[in-house]
Amino acid sequence: MKNNNDSQQQSSFRPIVGIDLGTTTSAVAYIHMGKPDMVPSPHNKRIIPSVVLIDLQGKVIVGEDARAALIAMPDRAIAAVKRKMGSSEPILLAGQALLPQEISALILKELKSYVDAHFGAGEKEAVITVPAYFTDEQRRATKQAGELAGFVVERIINEPTAAALAFGLGHIDEDRHILVYDLGGGTFDVSVIEMMSGLLEVKASTGNSLLGGEDFDWKIVDCLAEQMIKEHGVDPRLDLRAKALLKAEAEKIKMTLSTEEAVTVSLPLLAVQNNHPIGLLIEFTRSQFIALIDTLLLETLTCVQRVLQEANLKPSDIDEILLVGGSTRIPRVHEIMSDYFGREPRMDVHPDEAVALGAAVQAGLKSGALAESGLIATDVAPFSMGISVLKEWKGNQVRPGGFHIILPRNTTIPVTRSDTFCTAFDDQTSASIEIYQGEHEWVKHNHLLGEFILAGIPSNSAGAEGIEVTYRYNLNGILEVTAKCVSTGKAMTVTVQDALNRDSQEAFAASAAKLEALYNNDDDDDDDDELELEDGYDEEDILESDDSPTVLHAEAAALLERAQDLLGEFKGQESTRIEKLITSLQEAMDRGDIDLLQRVIDEATDTMIDLEV
C-alpha cells in the first residue's frame, strides 16, 4: 500500500520553479537539496539575454544569438520588452505585430525548455518576479506571458522580496532590518524588509519602473552621437543599424567603466558621408559616464529616503544593505549607498542571480520543499486602492471624482478592508462602484481598475441607505471588491482581474495561436508546400496575416513616428515632402482601407530611402 501511494505521489509530481524575467537578462532556478540553484541552459549559461530574434527563415531565437543580431537585423530582433509590459500597443517584429506579453512568452518558452530538459517533459508551475512598482496591468501581462509559455503561474512576487528571500534562507535565526536596492536593466525598486526569526515582512516599497541600465546606455549613445555630429555633421541615431551599433558599444563602455577608469571607443564605420565611411575614435572616462547618469542615480537615493520614511526608520536602523541587479556593479552606486548609510553594502549577494534564486525559495515554500525551513514571507500593496466618491472642493462645494482610499499603499498583504458609504441623492436605487489605483486625491489622475453597478437599493432619502465596500487583496495582487447594501444585505462581488479582462479568454486564445504559428513555422520551414497548422490555421491564413490591418497599422505607426522625428531635421522641399508623407499616413490610418494603407506605406518607405534615412 505504501509503495502504491509513493508511486501516485511521484506520478502526480509537478515541478515548481522560480523565474526572474528581467529587462536585460532572465533566469530560472529551483530548490535542490534544500537550497536554491540555477537551471542552466544547454550551453551551461546561468542567465540569458532577454532578447528575441525572428530570423530570415522565420525561426524564433532567444538569448545570446538573438542579442548578436540586434545590430545586423534591428527590425527582426528586440530587447528590453519588459519596459513595454502592460501596454496594448503591438510591437512590429520581423513584419509581425506582437504584444509585449507575447514576446516575453517567447523568452519564457526558452527558459521552460531548460526546465523540461532538467525535469523531463510535463506541466511545470512557476513563481515569476516583477518590479515592486509594477501596475496591475503589468502584473497581469507578466502572468499571461508565463501561461502562454506553458507554465502554471502560481505566484507573482516582487523582485526585492525575492532577493530578500534568497538572503533570508541562510539567515533565518537573525532579527534585522534589510534594505534591498534593486537597480536592473530597466527598472528600479527599493524595499525595507524586517526579519524576525524566519518571518520576512516587507515594511515599505517604492521605485521607478522606467529607470535602469538601459537609460544609462542611452545617455552614452546620445553623448557619442553628439560627438559624431560635432565632428562630421551626421547623426548616427537616424540610421537603425548605426543606432543599434552605438547601443551595443554603450553597454560595453558601461561595463568596462565599472572596473576601469577609462576606455577607448573605436567605431571605424558608423555612417557613410560623400561615399566615404566615417566613424568615431575617442577616449571615454568614468567621470564622463558618472556626469551623464548622476542625476538618475540621485533619484534612486530619493526613493531610498522615501521608503525609509514610509517604514518609520532611520538610516542607522538598517542592519544590512543588499544591492541587486546588474547596474549595481557601477562603483558610483556603492559610493552613494555607503555615504548615505555610513557603511558598506553586502558583497556576498550575486546581483544577477539573487532574484531568480529568491523566486525559487518562494517556489520551495509553495511546493513544500522548504516546509521545514521556518521561513515565512509577507509583502505589501505597491499602490493605494479605493473608489470614486463625492468630495468637498473649494470650501462648501461638492464635486464627483474624489479618491477615497480603502487600501493604503504599503499595506501588508493578504488583507481585507471595508468602509461604509451612503447614498448621494433622494430615491437613489443603484450605485456605481468605480475602482481606482493610485495616490492622487482626484481619480482622474489615478488608474481605473474596473467598475460595476450595485442595484436594488431601497428608495429612500439622500444619506439614509448605507453601502459597505470591501476590498480583499491577495498575495498575487488580485483584488476582489464587494459592495453590499447594509439595510437589505444584498451584495455584489467582482474580481478585478477578471472584470478588467472580460474578453481575456478570447485574447489569450488569439495570442496562443499566434505563438503556435511562429513555432510551427520553425518546424515546417523546409516543407512550405504542405504547411499546415493546428486549430484550423493553414498557409493561406499565415499569408493573409502578414498584411492584416493590425500589422499594417503598426508598420504605418512606426513610419509616422519616424517621419515626425525627422521633420525638424530638413528644410525646404525635403521638409514639405515629409509633411505630405505625415498627412498621407494619418489619413490612410484613419480611413482603415488596407489597400490604400499598403500603398501609402510603400510610398513612405521610398520617400525615406530618397531622403537617405
Query: Which residues on adjacent β-strands are paired with residue 319?
Result: none
Topology adopted by domain 385-500: Substrate Binding Domain Of DNAk; Chain A, domain 1 (2.60.34)
Secondary structure, 3-state, 27-90: EEEEEECCEEEECCCCCCCCCEECEEEECCCCCEEECHHHHHHHHHCCCCEEECHHHHCCCCCC
Catalytic site includes residue 174: no
pLDDT on residue 334: 96
pLDDT of residue 331: 96
> 362 pLDDT exceeds 70?
yes
Q: Which pLDDT tens digit goes with each residue over 574-610?
A: 777 877 878 887 777 776 666 677 777 767 766 765 5
Active site residue 159: yes
Choice among 82, 124, 143, 514 that is catalytic: 82
- Does the active-site annotation cover 182? yes
* Residue 548 confidence (pLDDT) above 60: no
* Rounded distance between C-alpha atoms, residue 126 and residue 150, angstroms: 10
Q: Reply yes or no on whether 610 is catalytic.
A: no
pLDDT in tens, 325-347: 999 999 999 999 999 999 999 87
The residue from 110, 147, 182, 555 that is catalytic is 182
| % of the chain exceeding 90 in pLDDT | 47
Asked whether the predicted pLDDT for residue 244 surpasses 90, the reply is no
Question: pLDDT tens-digit profile of 219-228?
Answer: 999 999 999 9
Note whether 193 and 205 are within 8 A (CB). no
pLDDT in tens, 488-547: 998 888 877 544 444 467 777 888 888 888 877 655 554 443 333 333 333 333 233 344
Say what the pTM is: 0.73
Please, are residues 399 and 390 in contact by the beta-carbon 8 Å criterion?
yes
- Listed by start position, the domains of the chain span 13-171+351-372, 385-500, 503-546, 548-613
Pick the CATH number of 13-171+351-372 from 3.30.420.40, 3.40.1410.10, 2.40.50.100, 3.40.50.150: 3.30.420.40
Q: Which amino acid is at 291?
A: A
**Annotated active-site residue in 110, 136, 154, 159:** 159
Question: What is the per-residue pLDDT for 389?
Answer: 92
Report, as an integer, the average pLDDT of 375-392: 85
CA distance 27 to 50: 9
Q: pLDDT per residue over 367-382, tens digit each?
A: 888 877 878 887 888 7
Q: Is the pLDDT of residue 3 over 80?
A: no
pLDDT band at 78 (very low <50, low <70, confident <90, very high): very high
